[in-house]
Structure 1
Amino acid sequence: MQVLRTVTVVEHALIPVMEDAAHTAVSDRLTPVAPYITSHEAEALLKINDRHPGFCQRTVGAVKLAQHCGIVRAASCVLEIVPKVGITSDGDDASRGRAALLSMLHQAGRLKVSAIGSAQQGAVRAPLLEIFIQEFLLCALDVAQSGLISRYVPQSGDLTVVKGRFHAQGQLRHNLARPHLLHCEYDEFTVDNLYNRIIRAALDACRHWAKLASSQRLWFELHARLTGVAQVRVRSADVRRLRYDRQTLRYRAVMQWCEWLLELASPDLRTGSTAAPALLFDMNKLFEDYVCRREELKEADSPNIVIRQGPQRALIMQGKRSVFTLKPDVTVWKKASANAPFSLDRIVDAKWKSLNPNSDDWGVDEADIYQLLAYSKRYRCARLELVYPRPVDKNEGCVPPVFRIDDGEAGRVTTITISMAPLI
């Protein structure tokens, strides 16, 4: 099997496009070897825009990435895109970016990440693909150790005694010269069902991707527990069609991993398709989920209510038609007293953007301020907050500003607090 090289880049990066032969000639003179992709791989990346609009664009001699992070599997490489988490660039950006991505995915509830312990230490050295495979193996082993589900599966075969229903036509076709055998149709209670077959298919798909000794050990342990499950061809679309009940609900997490891994192992790639399978996360949406979850945890011990993505209101009403719909990321509601109704206390908006502590306004975008002022006017809320990611190399002594705006009403001052959420 072809060994895929790993290309690690930071979001919004420019990836040079050159052929392998040209890059080999260049790499003889440069150390270390810089990331690159071939023209065929570049075309595969551009095809991803059909599923993830704005993922990348072609420039002269390179491909420019946007805000999506994760993994893309091209024909001869695995592209690993990590978030930019520092103000300055250094050699540890990739490991800290992996740690930040895993931490956000875990805390936002997108997936359960056991490697979060090492992520909290500020660096993850293993490639994302290796980490995702380990998480799949750990999740699948947890399901297997608690007992693989069994289902009644229709079977047919030639038996020495009647089991289930005797099939007369099958007997004439198969056993006319073997009267000692009986062709029967019956239901077998077995672990060889669709749910476990999907896990087995994902396990087979990642066999040659697991490079670390710890991953290989987990792979063989899970393989031993699935010996009674047949190898069948499964696609990620088959996983999405699954239905869950009380017995199979515990399979939901591992099925998510299976869907992603089977997507990366898409057979379309082997049949000449130019589309590259990918496991990507829009950092704007992921950071919103991460900030929302932090607000929910912050208010967990209080009587306050946290509402995600709402409530929606129209900024302008043209007759009966609403124009310019507003939808804050987070709104926090509280009661002035036990019998009082809930009132809006503050509005929180998440922005996956970099700040500049050396600037007077910290590089806050004017459009973001205007957006919050629209929220303040329509929702009649004077406490607003913009949350940005905290750079891992930021000086702890730098405190973000609080903007105060006097709107002319007696005693009414709108405050816009700039805060930063730690990623690691």
Structure 2
Amino acid sequence: MQSEQHITVYEHQSLYIGRDKNSLSEKQLEALQAFHGEGTCYYSLTHKGVKFCEYVGVLQVGNTIIEILPKADKAAGNEEDTITKWRDVLIGMLKAVGGFKIESPSSSSLRIRHNSILHLYFELFLTEVEILVHRGLTKQYRQTEGNTTVLKGSLHFGKHLQHNLVHQEKFYIRHTVYDKTHPLNQVLYKTLRLLSRINTSIVLHSRIGALMISFPEMPDIVVSEAFFERITYTRKTEAYQKAMEIARLLLLNYHPDIRKGQNHVLALLFDMNRLWEQFVRASLKKYKPENISIPESSTRDFWKPKTGGKSYLRPDIVINTDNSDCLVLDTKWKNRNGSSPQSDDLQQMYAYQSYYNASHVALVYPGNTKTIQGGRFYHPEGYLTDKTCSLISVQAISNIKEWQKIIADLFYVELRGTY
């Protein structure tokens, strides 16, 4: 098992070689530069360093874990408390939108306090696999062939002559076996082997080893996005779904260092803008009154050229589409700090209000406090209309359930009184 170095930064911050305790080594920077060369958009390269963008989560480079946390406020305070707060906020948001499948009964039995979401994903995977091993790994019939001293199945005559002209006591046969060499088990075993190489948690080390012993030796399996898309679950294998989701995430985001074999990169990163949108939507759905509807998508045609494809309007969240109380929301993960919104954002909201015949539209930001600031659009002739757009800020707190309730009350109770 590797010894761990842990670096914590916030979104849009930079890491450099040799500047402070959170410095990169030259080898780590080389690995990040090589990973960036594969087309990654998670950070940009600077002089002797990297600058992170809106992606948050964790990068493991060799034995170094780089944790990139969101941070929507500029409040001063104890750095350790600030890190803990934003780590809890990130994990809580991912749980709320289904990133950890928190409805799983196994998630309530997690055993360690995690220093990053990386170890949390590792333990969730191990816990799910332990449940599967306890229940008994699924088996299947499969065709196999090879040399044996027992004649069973069918004799493969051509290969029998090729292999056994001298060894006449053997038979080259094809036969059917019923064992655990199932594609789903092969994926789990491949993921365990990956964790045995990259895990830096002492607490998880023995559990990985114990689980590997529970699996028979299996041939390696090549996985891809298409492979996971083709998987279908039956009554016998439906219990594998949660473990396979995490295996998919780990295996498809692992980038081995094929040149030197030391600074492998595992990237579990999430677009904070997209996560904020999903979190607000999940919060509104969780506390939705019966008379409220929130469709998953409300895309509408916007413009069509003489040749080529159409352009669309696609707002983040639409409440009560086509009703008299229709509300269109656009989420922005950035702290305005009292500044005016960008003109492009306001123009977009004006279009949403017109095309969806919305009674109200709003831009939704994280902030230091909870605020609702109203505003009205101008008519082309220069006078103010009754068309309104609110600027809404919601303070992030570590208690995710309470935060979700605050968001829901803000839109379903407080905002309704402003239009």
| Band of TM-score, shorter chain | 0.7 to 0.9
Partner residue of 1:6? 6
C-alpha distance in 1 between matches for 2:29 and 2:168: 64
Does residue 1:402 correspond to 2:373, yes or no?
A: yes
Matches within 5 A, 1:59-98: 59-75=46-62, 77-89=64-76, 90-98=79-87
Q: Deviation per CA, 1:243-264, whole angstroms, max 9, x where unpaired?
A: 2242545434322322333346
* Equivalent position of 1:349 in the other structure: 330
- Give 1:101-120 correspondences, 5 Å limit: 101-113=90-102
Match of 1:58 among 45, 54, 58: 45
By how many angstroms is 1:271 displaced? 4.6
| TM-score, length basis structure 1 | 0.77
SS class of match (1:42) = helix
Q: How many residues align?
A: 389
Q: 1:243 is matched with which residue?
A: 231
Larger displacement relative to structure 2 (142-151 or 285-294): 142-151
Give the TM-score of the pair, scaled to structure 2.
Answer: 0.77
The partner residue of 2:349 within 372, 394, 399 is: 372
User: Could you tell me how far apart the structure 2 residues matched to 1:86 and 1:116 are?
Assistant: 30
Give, as a single letter, the amino acid of the residue that structure 2 aligns with 1:202: T
Question: Which amino acid is 1:345 matched to?
Answer: C
Write the letter of the residue equivalent to 1:144: V
In 1, distance between residues paired with 2:164 and 2:171?
7
Instruction: Verify: 1:166 aligned to 2:155, yes or no.
Output: yes
Helix, strand or coil at the partner of 1:95: helix
Equivalent AA in structure 2 for residue 284 of structure 1: N
Mapping for residues 8-407 of structure 1, pairs under 5 Å:
8-18=8-18, 34-49=21-36, 54-75=41-62, 77-89=64-76, 90-113=79-102, 125-159=114-148, 161-226=150-215, 228-230=216-218, 232=220, 234=222, 240=228, 242-246=230-234, 247-263=236-252, 265-269=254-258, 271=260, 276-299=265-288, 301-314=289-302, 325-333=312-320, 345-356=326-337, 359=338, 364-389=341-366, 394=368, 398-405=369-376
Return the letter of the residue paired with 1:59.
T
Please name the residue that 1:420 is paired with. 394
Q: What residue identity is the alignment partner of 1:304? A: I
Q: What's the offset of the Cα at 1:372?
A: 1.6
Which residue is 1:30 aligned to?
none
SS in 2 for 1:257: helix
Please give the root-mean-square deviation of Cα atoms over the aligned residues, in Å. 3.7
| CA apart distance, 1:239 | 5.0
3-state secondary structure, aligned to 2:294:
strand
**Secondary structure, in 3 states, of the residue corresponding to 2:326?**
strand
Partner residue, 1:28: none
Specify the SS of the correspondent of 1:291: helix
| Cα contact 1:193–1:229 (8 A) shared by 2 | no
In 2, Cα distance between the equivalents of 1:401 and 1:423?
A: 18
In structure 2, the residue matched to 1:26 is none
Query: What is the letter of the counterpart of residue 94 of structure 2?
Result: L
State whether residues 141 and 176 of structure 2, in contact with CA within 8 Å, keep that contact through their aligned partners in structure 1. Answer: yes
Unpaired runs of 5+ residues, structure 2, are 399-419
Per the TM alignment, residue 231 of structure 1 is displaced from its structure 2 partner at its CA by 5.6
> Equivalents in 1 of 2:290, 2:40: separation in Å?
40
Distance in 1 between residues matched to 2:109 and 2:126, nearest whole Å: 18
Q: Distance in 2 between matches of 1:416 and 1:275?
A: 46
* Residues 293 and 320 in structure 2, CA contact (< 8 A), matched pair in contact too: yes
Distance 1:320 1:343 in 2: 36
Identity %: 22
Q: Deviations over 1:253-302 (max 9, x none)?
A: 32232233334654444556998442221111122222222222233x52
Contact 1:239 1:255 in 2 (8 A): no
The whole-number CA distance in structure 2 between the counterparts of 1:125 and 1:34 is: 21
What CA distance in whole angstroms lies between the structure 2 residues aligned with 1:307 and 1:399? 26
Aligned-partner Cα distance in 2 for 1:198–1:418: 45
Tell me how far apart the structure 2 counterparts of residues 116 and 55 of structure 1 sit (CA, whole Å). 29
What is the distance in 2 between the residues matched to 1:411 and 1:233?
63
